[in-house]
Amino acid sequence: TLHLASRPWAEVSAWTLNFGGAGVNLFVTGDNRTENVVGRVFTEGVRDGEQDLFVAQINEQPKPPRRSVVEFEPGAGIFGAAERYYEQSEQRLGRYFAHGPEDYVFISAQPGCDEEWLLGLDEEAVRRLDADEELSLLEVRRFRHHCGCTLERLLPALAKVAEDELFGAEDTIRLDCPRCAAKYRVSREDLRRVR
């Protein structure tokens, strides 16, 4: 959400962090137009690699999507992985700080930034930032956790697969939303409606 708030209004971003050694993928996506953020953790069927990977996809209509894959060090955590992404793909500094139990701060370099100052920041300096520096509010964005999935939006992806291959001997199957893990029951009749 902090990343999205620093990006253009027409942008949709999706990040997948693959913690290869742990067999875990963290997926998050957000849309600045709708101010929605959603994500989930995958622990099954995760590619077990030697290197942890940060995969970012940015969609800004009408431009074609941009994709970036960045390796990060094991143990870097989510903040370290995102900072590595900024350094390599955004080609500027981006720093994340835990300000409180559910309070985080993101500071990114803009043109003319004193990078030495930014690199020298620590959590204590960030807590004093509003007293030590002149800060001003640029705009307000109100993000919410919301996927927007519905059975009708998910069904077209299934329409490409043969019905018997999907259902076998069953009349219904369970479908999980790939973005938020919401569970849906899909019948053969549901699938036939979209074909």
N- to C-terminal Cα separation, the chain: 37
Lookup: tokens for 141: 């964005």
Torsion-angle region of 159 (φ positive above 0: left; ψ -120 to 50: alpha; else: beta): alpha
**pTM, entire model:** 0.86
**pLDDT number for residue 79:** 95
Query: Phi/psi at 92 (nearest 5 deg)?
Result: -160, 160
**pLDDT number for residue 160:** 87
Write out residues in the chain with pLDDT < 70, as ranges.
none
**What does the alpha-carbon distance between residue 1 and residue 29 come to, in Å, rounded to a whole number?**
9
**pLDDT number for residue 61:** 85
Strand bridging mode 103-108 / 94-100: antiparallel
Are the C-beta atoms of residues 183 and 150 closer than 8 Å to each other? no
**pLDDT number for residue 105:** 95
